[in-house]
Amino acid sequence: MTDANQIPGYTTGTWDIDAVHSDIEFTLRHMGVGRSRGRFDKFEGQIVTAANPLESSVTATIDTASVNTGNTDRDAHVRAEDFLDTDNHPTATFRSTGIRENGDTWLIDGDFTLHGVTLPITLEAELGGFTDTSDGGKLLGLSASTTLNRTDFKVGPNGGAMLGEKVKINLEIEATLRG
């Protein structure tokens, strides 16, 4: 897979994440038995595809105040100081540091900053592919996921049965090639 010629439609260049056709969602345990779900509605980022796919890169910025769990009271609590503290930490960022092959998937290593804490994470990504759009542009699609420990990023209380510490992040990304 490291040979770009083996990836149908592979195109080098800089791609802008299309937030209208992309999703950043998360799930975590609630009370040890259920799952709470949410998403971020505002984010932006770029994917740079290099001639050697392993030399490609990803950057992204998430507006943490755009958290949306489907409940306005819960959203306000998640934005508050004891969780995301969006007044003091208005963004979360990801900057890739390397890409590796993993069978039919890719591992995107990078630095993730949330709540003022930067830690290395790895996204497991599946390339959806490359295609032409009806207006003559080009589109890239990919899915990625990772699991974080929210307490490593100092988000929310440590321990307790109310809220799980593991947070599953799922990304569905479409990006358009810059003209």
CATH 1.20.870.10 fits 4-177, yes or no: no
pLDDT confidence bin for 144, thresholds 50/70/90:
very high
Residues 94-140: tens digit of each pLDDT: 999 999 999 989 999 999 999 999 999 999 999 999 999 888 999 99
Q: How far apart are CA 129 and CA 169, in angstroms?
A: 21
Q: How far apart are CA 53 and CA 13, in angstroms?
A: 11
Q: How far is CA 82 from the centre of its chain?
A: 22
Say how many Å lie between the first and final Cα of the chain, rounded: 26
Does residue 92 have a pLDDT over 70? yes
Residues 36-53: tens digit of each pLDDT: 889 999 999 999 999 999
Tokens of 144: 């990625």
Domain residue spans of the chain: 4-177
Residue entry with tokens 């796919």: 53
